[in-house]
Structure 1
Amino acid sequence: MSENKTSFFGHAFRYFGLLFICLITLGSYYIYDIPAALQTGIETLYKVDNVKWNLLYSVYSFPNMIIVFFGGYFIDNVFGLKKGAIIFCCLVMAGQIIFSVSSNLKLFWLALVGRTIFGLGGESLSVAQSTFCATWFKGRGDINFAFAITLAFSRIGSAINFQISPKIENNEVSRVPAAIWVGAIVCGISFASCIILVVLDVIRGKKDKDDPNTTTASSFMDILRSFKDVFHFPGTLWLINLSVVLFYVPLFVFVSICADFFQSKYGISADLATSIASVPYYAAVSSPIIGFIVDRTGHNIAFTTFASALLVVAHGLFAFSDINVWAGAIFLGGSYAFMAASIWVTIPCLVPSKSLGSAYGLAFACQNAAVASFGLIINAIIAHFNTNPVSSDSSGSCEPATSSDHHSSPSPSPSNHTLLSSTSHHIDTNSTAGSSSCIPIPKYASPNAYHVAELVFFGLACLCFVVQIIIILVDIKNRWVNIPSAKMKQRVKDLNPEDEKDPLIN
């Protein structure tokens, strides 16, 4: 009876901790797309065009091509997980507060400073979240389920922002600062959750009999020596990172341009196109169910291979057929749900716990670098092959604007920030509302331009599928990641012999 009580307490404690693991990134996911949710209002408030507005994302994304790796490395070797999470959470909250103050002062340069500081902590906080999840559920039969829950919960933050921020703004530029300040409040909730999580992690460490110290470097030479460990990561981990890059570029970069692509190819409305573009994010809700199945079966790479196959089918439909657009979108959403529920759990099977932060940081850095770079490449391809005229001033096709017209256009999809100015909706922020002002009708690129870009996505998806097959072939010998769940749990134990002690729960 007492064992049953201990077992119940163990399960309840883990999932109580998981709640706060999910909450620590709620703020960062909520505020990330505030510029997209309030694009027109922000452009008007700061008196900037679409190109300058896009800097609110650029100052976040490009530093994270490198910084996110060092964030994970510092978690392992400098700060430790708990201190690192608090530091990164502070950076996220401080960045959003500065952004909020800039909205009151109407200082765009200060907004960029705030978003830069947010970027210094945002992706690294996600690395900390993954490391927490891997640590709390290490060697357990429900680790895939736990990771899938964190993913689904994170996407909830983005969805809440797109629902709440426009309502707070309510088509009034004067209310934009209030909507941005709500983001700071949500970051405060995440910071409080981080503090609670750190306390819970101390309790978990005592229960699991963790080593008192997750070996942090004490000198500069220690840091250099531990940095060399990264170059000794197994080849399978590098193949996993390559598959992450080849999968998430055709997913996230495609989502950033697909609303216009759908309008151009399928002739649907902007509202419907934006809704369809959101399908992959809504599909993430099903990830916990898939994660639960993966926990019971193992063979994670079989699931990631299936996800890659769905990605190939989705882009094949978009590139080579005129079948209903929903078909491709559903395949795309399914591929995301399967990949997200199975790929990230393979990393604890490849590196010991002391290097998890560095391993996740490396994966996130590769992903950010690829998505940022291919975002520019794809939009350059679209601009180069576009044959449609783009109206960007009053000399083109235009509609008269009223005092509310600047706020009546639908919000862009969550990732439309990567569009080049040549294919984006430009607002003349210097004109005043009234009968003399004019809002250009947005023009999307020609179908041929999107077709060329779609061929690139299709090629990358095919390469991703090939890499998955290579991982399966390599693992026939290694037996590390494409094995039954029980053997994956044993693999984690073999990598961490120091953890062979009485855990909180088996």
Structure 2
Amino acid sequence: MNETNAKLLSDSKTARWIALLIVSFTMFAGYLFADAMAPLQGILEKHLGWSGTEYGWYTGAYGWFNVFLFFLILGGIILDKMGVRFSGLIAACIMLAGTAVNYWAITTRSLDGSTWHILLWTFPAQVWTAALGYAIFGVGVEIAGITVSKIIVKWFKGHELALAMGLQLALARLGTALALSTALPIAIASKSPATPVFICLVMLCFGLLAFVFYTFKDKKLDASLAQLNRKESRSSEDEFHLRDILSILRNRGWWYISILCALFYSAVFPFLKYATYFMINKFGVAENWAGAIPGLLPFGTILLTPFFGNLYDRKGKGASIMIIGSLLIILVHLLFAVPLLNHWSIAILLMIVLGIGFSLVPSAMWPSVAKIIPEKQLGTAFALIFWLQNAIALMLVPALMGWVLDRYCVTGSVVVDGSQVTTYNYTLPMILFMIIGITSLVFALLLKQEDKKKGYGLELPNIKK
């Protein structure tokens, strides 16, 4: 085979789509556990005695190590220096370890009655330990996320990049959808909040095995790069340097898309953490089915995110797509905040619209990063974006919403299966989510303006003809 006729392995449509499917399964398993506890607030309160503040503290723990110890940024640096195979395997192992700690915390009796005071906070030992496991898991799943993003750029740049990222997000969100719609019924049927977590633990074992299999395909891709003399050299120009971080931080377009990401996800992910109980309290949905309505959101994105990604690949308009998505998020939270709109059919309709908005922004946002940042810096750039997202959307906002609910939104309590369960009015949290959505729209508009100045090509198609 001579060099003029040689092709990269990534030029094979079959090879690159198989690679995508493998790494997407690993992320599917990660997303499955990421939201497995989201529908269980009432169950945790009833069976384990957790309060709304303790539940909010637990969900906010996801970003502890990523934010305060900068593990995610370190993971991005390791990714750029060591490559996707090393980074991905480490991430999959960390996800598995964190889930195991979380499972042990909510099943062991050795922590019963113990209270720990750490730094400025006092919580039951069980809450602290479960939060520790969730924080460890958060490191793994976030590093896995940036690794898979770089893998997709590696295989799909110049091809169907936005479609591939959209499909990966869709399959990952299938994990979210299954978690939101099945975790509560499984916990009720088994009379234990630990059962859904155990299922996730098993799936993460398979996710680790899947990534091990992927590493062999990645080696073949590197071999094809070497054969065409296109393999990245290990010169000093391609090594990670501090100036790479400084270069990213001096990029105004990167800041706009990073803040847009953090704010957009702040209006969606923390909402999903409370959405099941929100459906019970405002719309009167039965506990057994309350998780099915928020579960519509990720199910809808399974089709819509790839659709909008394909549109971006072929027609462009990435910045405009992000603006439209932000507008839809604002509309949904505004209508959720209206007290008179309390029929379950309205909840379903609004979740569908939220799903459209939730598909639009990520379908254009993640591929756009590859247009703003050079490929050799992508791992670090994604890590910095994910760090900001962790700090705001996955740690600060969930904890804030838990505090707001306990401080301002308690309306009373009801007896469910012999246990007292607190009831809430969710109008104030919905207004706060709407304000966050408005702020994300501002940065989407700023990003489009910056694209016009710098010529990133966010409004241009991704596929090179």
Q: Would you call these one fold, judging by a TM-score over 0.5?
A: yes
Q: Does 2:231 align with 1:211?
A: yes
Alignment-mate amino acid for residue 302 of structure 2: V
Relative to structure 1, is the Cα distance of residues 215 and 373 closer, same or farther in structure 2, using a 3 angstrom cutoff? farther
Tell me the distance in 2 between the aligned counterparts of 1:48 and 1:331: 35
**Equivalent position amino acid for 1:346 in 2:** S
Shift of 1:254: 2.7
1:380 paired residue number: 403
Measured against aligned partners, the alpha-carbon deviations of 1:379-437 in whole angstroms (never above 9, x if no partner) come to 4334443362x33xxxxx535xxxxx4xxxxxxxxxxxxxxxxxxxxxxxxxxxxxxxx
Q: Does 1:198 align with 2:199?
A: no
Q: In structure 1, what is the equivalent of residue 119 of structure 2?
A: none
Q: How has the CA–CA distance of structure 1 residues 462 and 358 changed in structure 2, closer, same or farther, with 3 Å as cutoff?
A: same
Structure 1 stretch 180-189 or stretch 118-127: which is displaced more? 180-189
Q: Give the secondary-structure state (helix, strand or coil) at the position aligned to 1:398.
A: strand
Letter in 1 for 2:429: A
Tell me if 1:154 matches 2:172.
yes
> Does the CA contact (< 8 Å) of 1:80 and 1:216 recur in 2?
no
Of the three residues 374, 377, 397, the one matched with 1:352 is 374
Secondary structure of 2:267 counterpart: helix
Tell whether the 8 Å contact from 1:72 to 1:124 is kept in structure 2 after alignment.
yes
1-structure distance, mates of 2:46, 2:334? 40
1:320-399 to 2 correspondence within 5 Å?
322=340, 324-371=346-393, 372-386=395-409, 388=411, 390-391=412-413, 397-398=414-415
Alignment-derived partner of residue 253 in structure 2: 236
Q: Which amino acid aligns with 1:301?
A: A
**Which residue number in structure 2 is paired with residue 92 of structure 1?**
95
The alpha-carbon distance between structure 1 residues 179 and 398, as it changes in their structure 2 partners (threshold 3 A), is: closer
Aligned residue number for residue 24 of structure 1 = 26
How far, CA to CA, are the matches of 1:217 and 1:7 in structure 2?
A: 25
Q: Is the 8 A contact 1:299 1:481 kept in 2?
A: no
Which residue is equivalent to 1:414?
Answer: none
Give the whole-Å Cα distance in 2 for the aligned partners of 1:216 and 1:105. 51
Letter in 1 for 2:168: T
Deviations 1:67-118 (A, max 9, x none): 32332222113x3322111111111123334445556654446655543432
1:131 has 2:183 as partner: no
Q: 1:68 pairs with 51, 66, 72, which one?
A: 72
Let me know the Cα RMSD of the aligned residues.
3.6
Q: Kindly tell me: are residues 120 and 464 of structure 1, through their superposed partners in 2, closer, same or farther at Cα, counting changes over 3 Å?
A: closer
Larger Rg: 1
- Could you tell me which amino acid in structure 2 is paired with residue 249 of structure 1? S
Amino acid at match of 1:473: Q
Answer whether contact 1:215 1:354 (CA < 8 A) is retained. Answer: no
For 1:257 and 1:194, how far apart are their aligned partners in 2?
32
Shift of 1:267: 5.2
Partner of 2:114: none
**2:290 is equivalent to residue 250 of structure 1:** no
| Amino-acid identity (%) | 20
Letter of the 1:12 counterpart: T
Q: Map 1:224-303 to 2 at 5 A.
A: 224-232=242-250, 234-262=251-279, 265-266=282-283, 269-270=286-287, 273-286=290-303, 287-303=305-321
- Asked whether the equivalents of residues 259 and 274 of structure 1 are also in contact (C-alpha less than 8 Å), the reply is yes
Structure-1-length-normalised TM-score: 0.75
**CA positional deviation for 1:223:** 5.1
> Could you tell me which amino acid in structure 2 is paired with residue 282 of structure 1?
F
- Match in the other structure for 1:462: 438
> Which residue of 2 is the match for residue 493 of structure 1?
none
Deviation at 1:214, TM superposition (A): 6.2
Once structures 1 and 2 are overlaid, which stretch shifts more, 54-63 or 128-137?
54-63
2:325 corresponds in structure 1 to 307
CA distance in 2, matches of 1:230, 1:4: 35
Q: Distance in 1 between matches of 2:376 and 2:10?
A: 28
1-structure distance, mates of 2:291, 2:181: 14
Compared CA separation, residues 461 and 170, structure 1 to 2 (3 A): closer
- Summarize deviations over 1:435-472 as a string: whole Å, max 9, x none: xxx31144123xxxx33333322222222222222222
- 8 Å CA contact 1:214–1:354 kept in 2: the answer is no
Q: 1:75 to 1:9 in 2, by over 3 A?
A: closer
CA deviations on 1:23-69 (whole Å, 9 max, x unpaired) are 22233222223434666777788x55345566553433322334323
Query: Using the alignment, how far apart are the partners of 2:348 and 2:199 within structure 1?
Result: 34
Letter in structure 1 aligned against 2:156: F
Question: TM-score, normalised to structure 2's length?
Answer: 0.81
Unaligned runs of 5+ in 1: 392-396, 400-404, 406-437, 491-505
What is residue 12 of structure 2 aligned with on the other side?
10
Structure 2 residue aligned with 1:483: 459
1:143 deviates by: 0.7
Decide whether aligned partners of structure 1 residues 319 and 26 sit closer, same or farther in structure 2, where only a CA change above 3 A counts.
closer
Letter matched to residue 73 of structure 1: I
Does the Cα contact within 8 Å between 2:161 and 2:367 map onto a contact in 1?
Answer: yes
- Cα distance, 1:484–1:185 mapped onto 2, change above 3 Å: same
C-alpha displacement of 1:203: 1.0
Contact 2:177 2:295 in 1 (8 A): no
1:16-55 matches, cutoff 5 A = 16-36=18-38, 49-50=50-51
Counterpart residue number, 2:138: 119
Long gaps (5+) in structure 2 = 111-125
* TM-fit CA distance, 1:348: 0.6
Structure 1 stretch displaced more, 332-341 or 22-31? 22-31
* Number of equivalent positions: 434
